Amino acid sequence: MRIAAHHIEGTAEHRLSALLGTETEYEPACAWPDDCIVQWGHGIIPATPFFEAFPRGTFIRGEGPTIADAEIEAFAQYQSEFMCDHVWGRQHVRFGTYTNGSAWCRKCGGFRSKMFPPIVALGWWRKPLDRMEVDMLTSVETDTELNEIMDLKYPDDIAGRRKRARVLRMRFNLFGAEPADPVSKDPTNV
């Protein structure tokens, strides 16, 4: 198990957590997997003790009267998911249908991201660009410094950013842009 950085003394995250007064001393007791990141604390409103675990591909949260109880609840959920012969689906009774590729197990209620390809609504792009999309397109096409920074920081997403820019350019060429808000464009209207 790997403990989240804001719980490890000496890290910048821990110093910030201490300044904010959110640091809670606790030592996890359950046998979490080696590649699982864990964190804990007290909720803001209401101040409910919680324990969160991030096993590969999912997220588990337990709550209880104490952080120890919250960890026990989260670990029981983890064990339930670990032992389950999953049947994945996009629908959840309380949360509706997920179209972003995430899935819920119909047996144990476990959650995983990227289980399915996302569902894309047909024709979503057949509309004028809104103001934010126009700004994004302008930035992508003219701000070379920002593009270089993004390429260095996120090298795995270079092709994706280029594709999104091409789609925005095609939409702009075919459908234009929504008219700017006349109230915000008038410099005398403050």
Residues 21 and 34: beta-carbon distance below 8 Å: no
Structure tokens at 89: 């689906």
Domain layout of the chain by residue ranges: 2-83, 86-119, 131-181
For 189, residues 6+ apart whose C-beta sits below 8 A from its C-beta are: 183
CATH class of 2-83: alpha beta
Interhelix angle 131-142/144-153, rounded to 10 degrees, is: 90
Kindly state the average pLDDT of the residues 20-43.
Answer: 87
CB contact at 8 A, 103 and 83: no
Give the pLDDT band (50/70/90) at residue 50: very high
DSSP state of 119: P
Q: Can you give the pLDDT at residue 189?
A: 43
Instruction: Encode pLDDT of 115-159 as tens digits.
Output: 999 988 788 778 899 999 999 999 999 999 999 999 999 999 999
Greater confidence, 124 or 103? 103
The model carries a pTM of 0.58
